[in-house]
Amino acid sequence: MIKRITMLARRDDLSVADFADYWYGQHADIVRGMPGLHRYLQNHILRVLTAGNGAEAFRVDGMPELWFLDEDAKNVAFASPAAKALPEDEKNFLKGITIFGVEESVVLAGQGDVKVLVLRRSDDVPVPAEDALGWCRDLLQAVPAARACILNRVLTSEHRPGVWHEQDPPDLIVEFRFESAEVAAEAIGRESFQTFLGAQPDGMTVAAYLIEVRTII
């Protein structure tokens, strides 16, 4: 399975609601027309749970996830008229876009109604697989209320020519699932998670976001 995750930054003149409506409406309709697309969901940022060092860690308002069965299916999808229409349509609601090829690994299988994405930035892309898995397992121990955990190890990073993009993108994107938004916020705020953050080396940033998931395909 081939997977892509993208960081979207909305246009400054759009409200969060207008951004979300356009992304879920007209833009999703274009993406839906890509042949070979196996699965497509949108992660809408509801709230920043922690931004790392008390500052905005990333400029992100949404993160779509796309899956393809194999490289051939991905190539067919991005050679299609629908894919070629995406860059022009993005101008209607996006200020910036940063695109990642990722390797997905299930660290803890399970289910939960509420999703949290944790983004980590360090100086090493791609992170060696064993190092990424070890860090993710340590993170999971710091949030014992999590019912599921998926590690997305960033393999590649790209952007649209002439369009703003994240200058220091994440190298790991970790998905957690929780029973409720209240449990998720409490888990990120608890001492064990804050201690984990405090133990990270200088230059590493960790940010957590409460997500509304909208499944398109």
Write out pLDDT tens, residues 146-158: 999 999 999 999 9
Query: Do 131 and 151 meet the contact criterion of CB atoms below 8 Å apart?
Result: no
**Model confidence over 32-84: pLDDT tens digits?**
999 999 999 999 999 999 986 555 689 999 999 999 999 999 999 999 999 99
- 64 pairs with which residues across the strands? 42
Domain span including residue 63? 2-215
Helical spans, DSSP H, in the chain: 16-22, 28-32, 71-78, 81-90, 129-142, 181-189, 191-198
* Structure tokens belonging to residue 194: 């804050």
Question: What is the predicted pLDDT for the residue at 93?
Answer: 99
State how many domains the chain has: 1
User: Domain of 72: which CATH number?
Assistant: 3.30.70.100
> What global pTM score does this model have?
0.96
Instruction: Determine the 3-state secondary structure of 26 from DSSP.
Output: helix
